């Protein structure tokens, strides 16, 4: 409606439209504030390692594998092209053995940093890898080997060197 047509409307109609517009804007601002507060106050998944907490360390009684004995499959669950390939190169410079590289075969949508999937035989290897991928969530599966899968999520940025990763 143009300005000329609005001037011809009664004052109470213009006032009602202005109040409706104000109510709509206030509602949208409230929704935005609640969404941001929900993201900031979101609790970590109780099934995994908290994204902001300390990383798990291999237990003292178990033999801690060295990175050069750990086979890591690197998968991308994001839309960021080349993320798995570049991360695999980084893991190689940190002496990890890299297995498969590509998109997540489970096609999971991971909003956090990453998931480290492992079987019972690869638990210690997964914990070692978790010291290098800060904020990754450990997820046990039924695989039989010692290999682990690193599935990169939306918040993944970098593989941490040993000196800055949580030391065990």
Integer Cα distance of 123 and 54 in angstroms: 17
Angle among Cα 96, 52, 89 to the nearest 5 degrees reads 20
- 40-47 LR contacts (CB < 8 Å, sep 24+): 44/137, 45/137, 47/137, 47/139
Residue 57 has a pLDDT of 56
* Alpha helix positions (H), 9-95: 11-40, 83-93
Give the DSSP H/E element, type plus range, for residue 74: strand 71-76
Q: Which residues contact 161 (CB under 8 A, 6 or more apart)?
A: 94, 132
pLDDT along the chain (168 residues), means of 10: 60 85 91 81 49 47 80 93 92 92 90 93 92 92 92 90 52
Residue 45 has a pLDDT of 45
Residue 130 has a pLDDT of 92
pTM metric for this prediction: 0.61
Residue 84 has a pLDDT of 92
Residue 73 has a pLDDT of 94
Q: Which residues contact 32 (CB under 8 A, 6 or more apart)?
A: none
Integer Cα distance of 142 and 9 in angstroms: 71
Residue 12 has a pLDDT of 81
């Amino acid at each position: 409606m143009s300005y000329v047509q609005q001037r011809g409307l009664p004052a109470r109609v213009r006032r009602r439209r202005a109040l409706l517009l104000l109510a709509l804007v206030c509602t949208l601002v409230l929704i935005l504030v609640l969404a941001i507060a929900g993201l900031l106050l979101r609790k970590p998944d109780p099934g995994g390692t908290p994204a902001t907490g300390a990383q798990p360390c291999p237990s003292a009684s178990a033999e801690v594998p060295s990175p050069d004995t750990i086979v890591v499959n690197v998968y991308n669950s994001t839309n960021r092209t080349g993320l798995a390939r570049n991360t695999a190169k980084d893991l190689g410079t940190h002496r990890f053995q890299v297995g498969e590289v590509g998109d997540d075969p489970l096609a999971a949508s991971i909003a956090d940093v990453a998931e480290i999937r492992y079987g019972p035989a690869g638990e210690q290897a997964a914990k070692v890898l978790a010291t290098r991928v800060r904020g990754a969530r450990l997820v046990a599966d039924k695989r039989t080997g010692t290999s682990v899968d690193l599935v990169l999520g939306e918040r993944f940025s970098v593989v941490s060197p040993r000196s800055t990763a949580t030391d065990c």
